[in-house]
Structure 1
Amino acid sequence: MDFKIEHTWDGFPVQHEPVLVRLSPGDSGVMMEVSAPFFNDPPDPLGEPGKPFNELWDYEVVEAFFLNDRTEQYLEVELCPHGQHLVLLLSGRRNVWKQGLALSFKVSRGETKWEGKTYLPWCYFPPNVTKFNSFAIHGSNDKRHYEALYPVPQHELQQGQKPDFHRLEYFKPFSFNTLFGEEWKQPKSDLW
């Protein structure tokens, strides 16, 4: 499954090559791959590459959210072109109950593009994922850009509204059966 982030969080077309997020089946989870422009702005976090980094959303990242829309339980995965990552498990909007989980995350980076690849084990996913969204962030200060696979529709924007990636009502239907087949059932997680 390929997803292109072609809009800003508020529905305007991005002004660069879109970020690509690819999900593919793995033996005991999902492979997530990112191919994105490399802005190198802001500078890299001071955390060690390959390790979790708290508040990674303040840097250049690509994010994927996997939601059970009935329980509002969701997995948030953040990947940085400098090699850091952040995995959050949330129960209820913005209610983080577990963070800093390990990932095997590999990055290759050129001057203008980066690619990342990670394996997401089934235990990280909430039961019965039904919706999905993906985001990209880059830039500093007044040049900060927030992009969304499924943005807030322009006709629903309110004056002074700021980007908020936890607006779960704008996520779109998603099924792992598209990757694994109609008969497939999501394995139970010992974390949830």
Structure 2
Amino acid sequence: MEFAIKHTWDGLPVSHEPVRIVLKPDNSGLIMEVSAPFFNDPPAPLGEPGKPFNRLWDYEVVEAFFLRDRTEQYLEVELCPHGQHLLLLLSSKRKVWKDELPLDFEVTRMNTKWEGKAHLPWNYFPPSTNKFNAFAIHGSGEERKYEALHPVPPQEGQQPDFHRLEYFKYLNLKGLMGEDWKQPESDLWKSLTQ
């Protein structure tokens, strides 16, 4: 399952090679592969590569959101070309209840491009995950760019907001995993409802 981020958050075409995200099946979760231009702007976060880094969205990052639309519960995955990552579990829109979860994440960086590979365990996904959106952010100050797989329709005076869940699109995990597949239960998400 492959996606290309070809638009800004408000629907304009991007001016560079699009960020590509591939989702692949794995027995214990999903493999998320990223192939993206490397802007090196802003400079690398001060956190250690391979570790969670809070407020990673303030840096160069590719993000994927996996949503259960009925309850507005979602997993937010943020991957940085410098090797840091941030995983958030949200119990409703913008309401983080778990953050800085561990992640198996590898990065290969070249002069103008980077590739990342992350293993996302099923335990991180909300039950009945059925919608998806992805984003890319880079640049500093006035040159900050916000890009979206599924952009929001332009409206007067609106600011970039990646938590507009109503614009996420259907994600067919059965099509990826096999028609007989059933999403494994998550101890993490079960603990939220207890």
CA offsets per residue over residues 49-69 of structure 1, 9 Å max, x none?
A: 000000000000000000000
* Corresponding residue SS for 2:172: coil
Match of 1:72 in 2: 72
Give 2:166's aligned residue. 169
> Residue by residue, what CA displacement relative to the aligned partner does 1:39-98 show, whole Å, maximum 9, x if unpaired?
000000000000000000000000000000000000000000000000000011000000
Residue matched to 1:114: 114
Give the equivalent residue in structure 2 for 1:87.
87
Q: Does the alignment pair 1:19 with 2:19?
A: yes
Q: Is the 8 A contact 1:51 1:85 kept in 2?
A: yes
> How far apart are residue 160 of structure 1 and its match?
1.3
- Tell me the equivalent position of 2:41: 41
Percent same amino acid among aligned pairs? Answer: 72
Whether 2:183 is the aligned partner of 1:186: answer yes
State the secondary structure of the residue aligned to 2:188: coil
Q: Identify the residue that residue 143 of structure 1 maps to in structure 2.
A: 143
Equivalent residue, structure 2, for 1:160: 157
CA contact (8 A) 1:103 1:119 kept: yes
Distance in structure 1 (CA, Å) of the matches to 2:175 and 2:48? 35
Unaligned runs of 5+ in 2: 190-194
Deviation at 1:170, TM superposition (A): 0.3
SS in 1 for 2:20: strand
Q: CA deviation at 1:158?
A: 2.3
Question: What is the aligned length?
Answer: 189
CA distance, structure 1, for counterparts of residue 102 and residue 8 of structure 2: 29
Distance 2:29 2:170 in 1: 19
Q: Matched residues in 2 for 1:141 and 1:178: separation? A: 41
Q: What CA distance in whole angstroms lies between the structure 2 residues aligned with 1:43 and 1:146?
A: 17
User: In the alignment, is the contact (CA less than 8 A) between 1:74 and 1:90 conserved in 2?
Assistant: yes
SS class of match (1:177): helix
- Mapped to 1, the partners of 2:69 and 2:174 lie a distance apart of 17
RMSD: 0.5
Kept in 2, the 8 Å contact 1:152–1:170? The answer is yes
Compute the TM-score of the two structures, normalised by the length of structure 2: 0.97
Unaligned runs of 5+ in 1: none
Once the two structures are superposed, residues 79-130 of structure 1 have per-residue CA deviations (whole angstroms, 9 ceiling, x without a partner) of: 0000000000001100000000000110000010000001000000000001
Is 1:102 aligned to 2:102, yes or no?
Answer: yes
**Which shifted more, 171-180 or 119-128?**
171-180
TM-score by length of 1: 0.98
